[in-house]
């Protein structure tokens, strides 16, 4: 009898030890995913828990984050794996894109508009979506809009952006700090994304998020004279020899001495607040980013440095049709004079007014019934 009790106690002890070991291993795997440190594992799991269950305020409305479907998760994993495995450029960490859509541009997208936007410009993005970057208005024209952002430092802000992405499916976020000195990285992320996932696009429009673009006028007057299979871009051209190179390291336009050595002025480039380029040119820019040293002055780098050895290339100067003076642009539109393709706008009200005036002129007018 005593022997049986002793055997039973030993058996129970052995089973208890095995259960403890199993539970410990399971907990370790949960908190310590493969390829991460123990601390990283905790952070990633906590991020997952928060991401799936928290309510996040995007500045537009309060919504609950739902579980991402299995198909969407697989798609995101494939996109991220492809980006990590594609050694695109030197001295730059390949970014993680927040992109859930399996076909980011669709098979029939011909025009892609991307905005360089700061991560916390929620209201600017909201205003653009409700005015000239309206997917509803331009759906029949096969236009796609995307916002390119850097990454905020706070995990809660990252979650806000993920939620905005789920609502609108138009966010591209690079895995780098969102700052003025990383504007070039945003442009690099944009063209690499378009080249990889938007192969049907014929024309690409780059805009800042404080610019009003009369897209109807662009499609009517500029795109018909451009050729998607040639290296062409339309912009406010800054001619070679007109813009001095800034060598003062304290300036935000500082360019190191090894860039453009023994030169006093910048080569020809486009002011980057609004640029229209062909898919052919974008493909060549894409290739050049792999072998060209970066500078943080993004418009000089993208539309000056990278274009120097591309031949033939055609610059279409539209400086007479763009303005950075909001009051001047609004006043001209009020008078029915819409010579401006792009106007810098500081106020939300000005953006809405210019959009309303544009719709009044360019929207199809209803036919009058005969008497």
Gap between the Cα atoms of 221 and 214, Å rounded: 11
Task: Find the angle CA(238)-CA(241)-CA(244) to the nearest 5 degrees.
Answer: 85
Beta carbons of 355 and 215 less than 8 angstroms apart: no
pLDDT of 218-227, one tens digit each?
A: 999 999 999 9
pTM: 0.73
333 half-sphere exposure, CB direction, 13 A CA radius:
31
Q: Write out the chain's pLDDT in tens, 371 residues.
A: 555 555 566 656 665 656 666 655 555 544 444 444 433 432 333 333 223 333 333 444 333 333 333 344 344 344 333 333 333 333 444 455 655 455 578 788 999 999 999 999 999 999 999 999 998 999 888 999 999 999 898 989 988 998 898 889 899 888 888 998 899 999 998 988 888 888 889 999 999 999 999 999 999 999 999 999 999 999 999 999 999 999 998 898 899 888 888 899 999 999 999 999 999 999 999 999 888 888 889 999 999 999 998 999 999 999 999 999 999 999 999 999 988 999 999 998 999 999 999 999 886 555 555 44
Q: Report the interhelical angle of 122-130 vs 155-168 (nearest 10°).
A: 10
pLDDT of 183-214, one tens digit each?
A: 999 999 898 888 888 888 999 999 999 999 99
Q: Hey, which bits of 202-324 come out as E strands?
A: 203-208, 211-213, 232-235, 237-238, 269-270, 274-278, 314-317, 322-323
Burial 144-182 (b: 16+ CB within 10 A, else e): bbbbbbbbbeeeeebbbbbbbbbebebbbbbbbebeeeb
> In the chain, what are the domains?
86-362 (3.90.550.50)
pLDDT of 6-60, one tens digit each?
A: 556 665 666 565 666 665 555 554 444 444 443 343 233 333 322 333 333 344 4
Gap between the Cα atoms of 307 and 284, Å rounded: 8
């Amino acid at each position: 009898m005593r022997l049986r009790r002793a055997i039973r106690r030993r058996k129970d002890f052995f089973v208890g030890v095995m259960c403890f070991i199993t539970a410990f291993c399971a907990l370790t795997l949960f908190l310590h995913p493969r390829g991460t440190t123990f601390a990283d594992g905790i952070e990633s799991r906590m991020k997952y828990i928060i991401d799936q269950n928290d309510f996040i305020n995007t500045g537009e409305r309060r919504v609950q984050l739902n579980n991402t479907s299995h198909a969407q998760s697989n798609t995101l994993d494939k996109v991220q794996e492809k980006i990590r495995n594609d050694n695109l450029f030197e001295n730059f960490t390949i970014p993680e894109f927040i992109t859930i859509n399996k076909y980011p541009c669709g098979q029939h997208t011909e025009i892609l508009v991307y905005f360089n936007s700061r991560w916390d410009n929620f209201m600017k993005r909201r205003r653009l979506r409700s005015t000239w970057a309206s997917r509803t208005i331009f759906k029949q024209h096969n236009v796609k809009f995307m916002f390119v952002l850097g990454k905020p430092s706070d995990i809660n802000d990252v979650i806000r952006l993920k939620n905005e992405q789920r609502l609108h499916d138009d966010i591209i976020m690079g895995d780098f700090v969102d700052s003025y000195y990383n504007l070039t990285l945003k442009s690099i992320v944009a063209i690499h994304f378009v080249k990889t996932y938007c192969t049907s696009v014929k024309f690409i429009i780059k805009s800042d998020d404080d610019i009003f673009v009369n897209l109807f006028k662009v499609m009517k007057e500029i795109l018909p004279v451009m050729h998607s299979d040639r290296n062409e871009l339309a912009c406010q051209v800054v001619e070679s020899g007109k813009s001095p190179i800034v060598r003062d390291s304290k300036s935000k336009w500082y360019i190191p001495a090894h860039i453009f050595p023994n030169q006093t002025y910048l080569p020809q480039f486009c002011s980057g607040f609004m640029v229209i380029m062909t898919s052919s040119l974008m493909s060549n820019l894409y290739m050049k980013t792999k072998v060209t040293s970066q500078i943080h002055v993004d418009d000089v780098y993208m539309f000056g440095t990278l274009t120097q050895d591309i031949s033939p290339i055609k610059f279409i100067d539209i400086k007479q049709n763009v303005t950075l003076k909001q009051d001047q642009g609004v006043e001209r539109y009020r008078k029915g004079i819409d010579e401006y393709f792009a106007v810098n706008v500081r106020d939300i009200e000005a953006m809405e007014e210019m959009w309303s005036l544009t719709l009044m002129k360019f929207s199809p007018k209803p036919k009058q019934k005969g008497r």
